[in-house]
Structure 1
Amino acid sequence: MQYQVGGSLSFEAASYVERQADRKLYKALKQGEFCYILNSRQIGKSSLLIRIRHRLEQEGFKCVTVDMTNIGSQDITPQQWYRSIIADLCLGFGLLDKINLKAWWQQWENCSLTFILNLFIEQLLYVHFPRERLVIFIDEIDNLLNLSFSTDDFFGMIRFCYNQRAINPEYERLSFAVFGVAIPSDLIKNRNISPFHIGQSIEINGFEQQESLLLAQGLKITGTQAQAILKEILFWTSGQPFLTQKICDLVASYVQNPTKQLLDSSSIVDANFVRNLIKKYIIENWEFQDEPQHLRSICERIEHSRQHKDKILNIYQQILQNLPVKCDDSREQKELLLIGIVVIQKGLLKVKNQIYAEIFNLNWVEEQRTKNSRASTLQRYISSGGRI
């Protein structure tokens, strides 16, 4: 077994861990539900998409994935954006040799962009796939938040497809599954339009002990010792997929090549060895050995919180101090959950894992506050023309 540190796992990857989210998403799409999976980065959303798509295709579903990072968000017009989505659907469904896309677009170019997109979807249902079940996966949906124009109508079009089921049974053959790092209320910015939360929300959590036992096979350690090592790894990561794969890979690297001096201390691979390995190669000087980038991304996402940063740091500080922070519907808590540094446990917010608690500790919070204060002072200085 080869562990994969970063990036999406293929549908046949031996180190893929099937979680409850796999079962829920598969069942929901099989039943024709619309689904959305909105969670923090590097939690395995794209790998989940790849796995479920392959499984549905094996059962005869016609599936396509529209990756919004591929569509782009910089220097793009609404016309280019919608045309790119239709081209992606055309390519994914294997229709490029059946449709003259340029001529087709020109035929309808005086109509609204969402009308054109919905017309294309109707032609998928009625002309090209009159009997098949269709699933459109939309990945990296948060990329839409960077566009210079509103995409409220795009989400309105998806809601239209959902609502049409009550009128037109043909739409029951079509499902959407939306993946990304976003808060549902952010996807539709016009407050006069209902928030985007149609269909079923799929929660995706870290690896549980029982479901991740297959990862022990790749450690190349026999018997119950491998499970004990995996248990220690999960103690530190709480099943966070990226960190779990990375530490498993570190342990396997030593076991397969014992002459490789990962640590100066005892070479016995036990819980203490794992603890020291994590401290040396994950926690200590983490800014310089965070490759592929994971921990620095958490810092950057907090930096990008901007006007919410102080409140987010205040909430996180209370969590570190073991004060009871009840989960509510506040913007700051939602952002903190999306950053991926905390989780909800029995209605309270807790630090997601021991590694985060060691790195993003109270000293780190104070450093972030100092940076924020300096940035605010500099901004006031610039705004006042050099006078404070």
Structure 2
Amino acid sequence: MSQSQSTYEYQVGGSLNGDAPSYVTRKADLDFYGALKAGHFCYLLNSRQMGKSSLRVRTMKRLQAEGIVCVFIDLMGIGTQDVTSEKWYAGIFYTLVRGFELTSKIQWRSWWREQQELLTPVQRLSLFIEEILLVEIKQKIVIFVDEIDQVLSQKFSLDDFFGLIRYCHDQRDTYTDYQRLTFALLGVAKPSDLIQNKAQTPFTIGQAIQLQGFEFDEVQPLINGLKEQFANPEAVIKDILYWTGGQPFLTQKLCQLVIHADKITKKQANTEMVAQIIQDCLVENWEVYDEPEHLRTIRDRIIRNEQKAVQLLGLYEKIFHQGGITADGSAEQMELRLSGLVVEKQGQLKVYNLIYRAVFDNNWIEKNLKQLRPYADDIAAWIASGGQDQSYLLQGSQLQDTLTWTLGKCLCNEDYQFLVASQTLAKQQTEQLLEATEQASQLLASARSKAKQEVQKRRISWGWIPLITLTVTLPILLLRWGGLLQGLEWFMLDQFFRWRPLEPSDSLIAIVTIDETDLTQVGQWPIPDGILAKA
């Protein structure tokens, strides 16, 4: 199908330059510009692709038009691979020297190395700000530091860097030159992430700038791009905002998709047209066709960290099914908000928009929880039973393996309740087993005691043994001495000989009988051995 052509282009991804026709001015534009112009330290911490970089570009241009000197530090550009603390601070130092055009005023390489022996990197940076930057630059100064979440990926602590920013703020009460210096921090992080060492004072300075999505009364630049192809562009943008919730990246992308849709699609009513484009181009096979990457960024932000993934998915599951939960500012809620998937509205944490709800639906939640939880099926069935069916609780080696898996992980409340219930059941079963063992031991001891008593009852007393012995032995002795038993004894002896088996004759033994005839024949006595031998 042929596509309609438009001369108007929306910005999908990346930062918009100061005069981009599709740039939408929001309340945050006025707040950010006004706070920095007044010299207030500011931080703009929000999820990705909410327009932070575009807002920074626009604000820098306005401040520079007012004569304020601005420098932009992109921490992403410094990198994280093979970067030492020394190199990292040297990168910040060089960016400032170049940005403030001080290369003709200072030999930056030699200056940095000359201080190396006595000062740490952060001390050298502080010395540069005080003795060079504030001396050479007489105007107001604003330093924008973007992608501050990159510091969380470094292998070394950068608490001192944010401590230096706080130091510059605190010096305003003592040195007036510091009143000309202002910092603006941008990134995907929480203020509590900036200084992680609990022994140091947390990063609590500065004004938080709230960056919200697009509102209908702000999107006239987007409407201008729809006028070429739609008779009622206001109605189209309302349908787009209905689906995107005003999320800047999605709103710009959907506007772009709408103006480049084929003519057949555009013949539909606005509502059906927008819904079909969303289904075909954003929701269906989104993991493959998500370009420029947006939805995959949200997905990775939630599930890439195995220690927190179950907790964040469990929290999102509750928000998804309940329609919203009370926003309490907890660490897990802030982490989920930084993913961009949910947003706080009127004290409630809700899914940001209908597109996110269609992409990250219940099937997606269950699929990822099942991949992450080794007990996914068990907890799902247990929750479905209202937490009453104990047959789904973990037992034995499965429980032990699961407890080992949980070490170092943050889980949601349902997971903890499930594991506590499993441990409670295991404890009850152990106690019941111990109780049964104790009862069996008591029964065995009781049986042994009764048996012993019974044996004692039936055992002949020691006092009776001599009497019984005399009673049996004395009659036998009397009969023996009276000879009454001798005939019986001889009879029994003869009988034993008869019962004895016959032994074979020995060929070495000869029996010679001598009678009167033999004596008469020989004629003498004793008979000589020679005659006996012949016999």
In structure 2, the CA distance between the partners of 1:177 and 1:126, relative to structure 1 (3 Å rule), is closer
- Whole-angstrom CA distance in 2 between matches of 1:269 and 1:225: 11
**Partner residue of 2:333?**
333
How do 1:152-191 and structure 2 match up within 5 A?
152-191=159-198
* CA displacement 1:86-120 (0-9 Å, x = unmatched): 10011111122322111111221121211110111
Change (3 A) 1:304 1:57: same
Match of 1:65 among 63, 72, 90: 72
- Contact map agreement 2:323 2:350 (CA 8 A) in 1: no
Of structures 1 and 2, the larger Rg is shown by 2
Query: Which of the numbers 111, 127, 131 marks the counterpart of 1:123?
Result: 131
Please list, as runs of the form range in 1=range in 2, the aligned pairs for 1:1-388 lying within 5 A after superposition. 1-110=8-117, 111-129=119-137, 131-221=138-228, 225-254=232-261, 258=262, 263=265, 267-268=267-268, 270-322=270-322, 324-373=324-373
Q: TM-score, normalised by structure 2?
A: 0.67
**C-alpha deviation, 1:366, in angstroms:** 0.2
CA distance in structure 2 between the aligned counterparts of 1:312 and 1:140, rounded to whole angstroms: 22
Relative distance call for 1:221 and 1:270 in structure 2 (3 A) is farther
Partner AA of 2:294 in structure 1: H
- TM-score computed with the length of structure 1 as normaliser: 0.92
- Any idea what the Cα deviations from partners look like across 1:209-264, whole Å, max 9, x if unmatched? 1001220111234776101000000000011111001010011113xxx55x6x4x
Distance in 1 (alpha carbons) for counterparts of 2:134 and 2:240:
51
C-alpha spacing 1:115/1:281, structure 2 compared with 1 (3 Å): same
1:124 CA displacement: 4.2
Amino acid across the alignment from 2:36: L
Residue identity opposite 2:57 in structure 1? I
Greater shift, 18-27 or 307-316, is seen at: 307-316
CA contact (8 A) 2:302 2:309 kept: yes
**Identity score, percent:** 45
Q: Which deviates further from its counterpart, 324-333 or 294-303?
A: 324-333
SS in 1 for 2:253: helix
The letter of the residue matching 2:293 is Q
The more displaced of 346-355 and 104-113 is 104-113
Q: Which amino acid aligns with 1:86?
A: F
Q: Which secondary structure does the structure 1 equivalent of 2:260 belong to?
A: helix
Contact 1:301 1:339 in 2 (8 A): yes
Q: Secondary structure at the match of 1:135?
A: strand
**Which is worse superposed, 117-126 or 367-376?**
367-376
Q: Which has the higher mean CA deviation after the structures are superposed, 275-284 or 120-129?
A: 120-129
Which structure shows the bigger proportion of residues in helix conformation?
2
Change (3 A) 1:267 1:323: closer
Work out whether residues 125 and 170 of structure 1, in 8 Å CA contact, stay in contact via their aligned partners in 2.
Answer: no
Q: How many residues align?
A: 373
CA RMSD of aligned residues (A): 2.0
Unaligned runs of 5+ in 1: none
Residue in structure 1 matched with residue 444 of structure 2 by the alignment: none
Counterpart-to-counterpart distance in 2, 1:200 and 1:306: 33
3-state SS of the aligned residue for 1:195? Answer: coil
* Counterpart contact for 1:313–1:365, Cα < 8 Å: yes
Aligned equivalents of 1:146 and 1:318: distance in 2?
30
Output one character per residue of 1:43-90: Cα deviation in whole Å (capped at 9) or x when no partner: 011111111001100111100000001111121111111011010011
SS of aligned partner of 1:236: helix
Structure 2: tracts of 5 or more residues without a match = 1-7, 377-397, 406-535
Q: Once the 2 structures are TM-superposed, how far is the Cα of residue 289 of structure 1 from its aligned partner?
A: 1.2
The amino acid that maps onto 2:128 is: F
Q: 1:324 to 1:282 in 2, by over 3 A?
A: closer
Contact kept, 8 Å, 1:73 with 1:147, in 2: the verdict is: yes
Query: CA separation in 2, counterparts of 1:366 and 1:197?
Result: 38
Contact kept in structure 1, 2:324 and 2:351, CA below 8 Å: no
The separation in 2 between residues aligned to 1:86 and 1:40, in whole angstroms, is: 28
Q: Which moved more, 1:326-335 or 1:225-234?
A: 326-335
Q: Is the CA contact (8 Å cut-off) linking 1:220 and 1:252 kept in structure 2?
A: no
Q: Whole-Å Cα distance in 2 between the matches of residues 347 and 124 of structure 1?
A: 47
3-state SS, counterpart of residue 349 of structure 1: strand
Amino acid at match of 1:158: I
Contact 2:78 2:88 in 1 (8 A): yes
Contact 1:10 1:50 in 2 (8 A): yes
1:185/1:291 CA distance change after superposition, 3 Å = same
Higher RCO structure (Cα 8 Å, ≥6 apart)? 1
Query: In structure 1, what is the Cα distance between the partners aligned to 2:324 and 2:154?
Result: 38
Q: Give the letter aligned to residue 150 of structure 1.
A: S
For residues 179-207 of structure 1, what are the alpha-carbon distances to aligned partners after superposition, in whole Å with 9 as ceiling and x for unaligned?
Answer: 00011111111001122131101010110
